[in-house]
Amino acid sequence: MTIRSVAIIGLGLLGGSIGLAVKARGLAVTTTGWDRDAEVRARAAARGLADTIAETPEAAVAGADLVILCVPVGAMADAARAIAPGLAPETIISDVGSSKAAVAEALAEALPGATIIPAHPVAGTEQSGPDAGFATLFAGRWCIITPPEGVDPASLEALSDFWAALGSKVETMDAAHHDLVLAVTSHIPHLIAYTIVGTASDLEDVTQSEVIKYSAGGFRDFTRIAASDPVMWRDVFLTNRGAVLEMLGRFTEDLTALQRAIRSGDGDTLFDLFTRTRAIRRAVIEQGQDDERPDFGRDH
């Protein structure tokens, strides 16, 4: 089974990037896009995010081999219900949501009997909307597929091949494991960035202008993550609640241990941790997940 036509529902960063990547890589795949917002549809048509921009969700999915829902995780059920009347029985339904167990459950409830194979491309930026997408977003990045038990092997293979054709490295795991791993690698880092930027902006004895003026000391790197889409991230924390709270408990314990080390002047503990974390940065670069240039390659 080969994917020849894809319907993209939600034409923001992820949806737009899928459409642009299909085109840029010259895949023999036709794309049809739909977004609930007429202005987004107009912008998507102007940028050529899909071969066709449909006016209704039913028209977007008619005849599609694969439908990919690219909306915030809290909107997956609504989007699934909107496309339901136009779906053919053999169409594969997938998504790009950042949390997986809750999305799998929502989709199964909204589309009983459909072939549903959730997925999460671990690739993104802090930008959103129809102008944010770009063709190389998935190149060399992981796409984690979380197939439900009893999945049709041919459909799973077709979906994996599609993501590989977009340049992704593909991995499969169960949804609960995905949610725990991503809580550590993505969700908690976002929560920390939101907290630290919020705390700094609330400080009464540091004026706003000083926070911005001296931001190159480290603060500005957190502001990139803390600029991420508020709707998307609200939904991630609400749908991955269990794993995030579990990992937050671990994080809080580690933070308390560091607090104790600083208070008691325990330099060895600080030095040992900072040495271990430096090695992790090296591993991220060695595995091609970031640029090796200092300071993310910024001009100085």
15 in Cβ contact with 9 (< 8 Å): yes
> Among 25-33, 95-103, 171-179, 251-259, which window interacts with ligand NAP (CB under 6 A)?
95-103
| Residue of the chain from 7, 73, 143, 247 that contacts ligand NAP (CB under 6 A) | 73
| By the rule CB under 6 A, 179 interacts with ligand NAP | no
Candidate residues 78, 171, 174, 246; the one interacting with ligand NAP per rule CB under 6 A: 78
Q: How many CB atoms lie within 10 A of CB 90?
A: 12
Min dist. Cβ of residue 237 to ligand NAP (A): 11
- The one among 7, 10, 53, 61 contacting ligand NAP by CB under 6 A: 10
CB 222 within 8 A of CB 190: no
Q: Alpha carbon 88 to chain centroid distance?
A: 27
> What are the tokens at 57?
């969700």
Residue appearing with tokens 């579990």: 246
Q: Is 11 in the site for ligand NAP (CB under 6 A)?
A: yes
Q: Please give the residues from 131 up to 170 whose contact with ligand NAP meets the rule CB under 6 A.
A: 132
Restricting to residues 191-230, name those near ligand NAP by CB under 6 A. Answer: 229
**Contact status: 19 vs ligand NAP (CB under 6 A):** no
Query: Of these, 7, 70, 111, 144, which contacts ligand NAP (CB under 6 A)?
Result: 70
The single residue among 36, 47, 177, 241 that binds ligand NAP, judged by CB under 6 A, is: 36
Report the alpha-carbon distance of residue 99 to residue 190 in Å, rounded.
14
Contacting residue, 91, 94, 128, 168, with ligand NAP by CB under 6 A: 128
User: Of 18, 50, 60, 71, which one interacts with ligand NAP (CB under 6 A)?
Assistant: 71
Kindly list the residues in this chain that would bind ligand NAP in the complex (CB under 6 A): 9-15, 35-37, 40, 70-73, 75, 78-79, 82, 96-98, 120-121, 124-125, 128-129, 132, 229, 232, 236
